[in-house]
Amino acid sequence: MLAVPAPLLAALPPARSQFGPDDEAVLDALKAVLYGPGAEAIDILTPLRETIAFLDEAQQAQLASLPSTFDLLSRVLVPTGGAFATLSLEAQAAALEDWLQSPLAFRRQVGQALRQLVLAHCYTHPVGQAAVGYAGPWLGRHLLPVHPLRFGEPE
């Protein structure tokens, strides 16, 4: 569970087991910040919904509420002038960096959790692979030698 100070807990959105429209808007905005050009071609919401389905109820509620929690706490702690998704790309990047570099542990924890959430499926899409400097899976990209087993070797 996030270690959010008690006075801020009242500002948090209610827990739910799936992403709402506000959560999806924040995730799309973060996707553009973290992946850069070409991010619109990456569908992170479908795999994230599938990931949430594998979690238990408590984890589902925490993960599904994370984006809107970030959005609401951003408005309280760092007045951004509106919803995170409506800010300019530069303002979004600055706001995320402010969370990631905060002296407050709970803010760094929320920022890192969101970053990891958005980048969780980056290796499954070519645009995401290029954005994070991953050349793609070796299978099919490199010819790998196949050595025949010899008698007495483990199978």
Return the bridge partners of 142, or none. 139
pLDDT average, residue stretch 45-67: 85
Mean pLDDT of the chain: 80
Domain that holds residue 119: 6-131
Helix (H, G, I), strand (E, B) or coil at 60: helix
What Rg value do the Cα atoms of the chain yield, rounded? 19
Question: Is residue 89, in this structure, part of any structural domain at all?
Answer: yes
Question: Is residue 30, in this structure, part of any structural domain at all?
Answer: yes
- To the nearest 10°, report the CA torsion of 22, 39, 37, 35: 80
pLDDT (0 to 100) of residue 17: 77
Strand ranges (E), 1-142: none
- Is the pTM above the cut of 0.85? no
Q: Based on the structure, what is the number of domains in the chain?
A: 1
Question: Is residue 139, in this structure, part of any structural domain at all?
Answer: no
Question: Is residue 154, in this structure, part of any structural domain at all?
Answer: no
Question: Is residue 64, in this structure, part of any structural domain at all?
Answer: yes
pLDDT confidence tier of residue 9, bands split at 50, 70 and 90: low
Measured in degrees and rounded to the nearest 5, phi and psi for residue 48 equal -70, -40
The pLDDT tens digits for 79-127 are 667 788 888 999 899 989 999 999 988 889 989 989 998 888 777 777 7
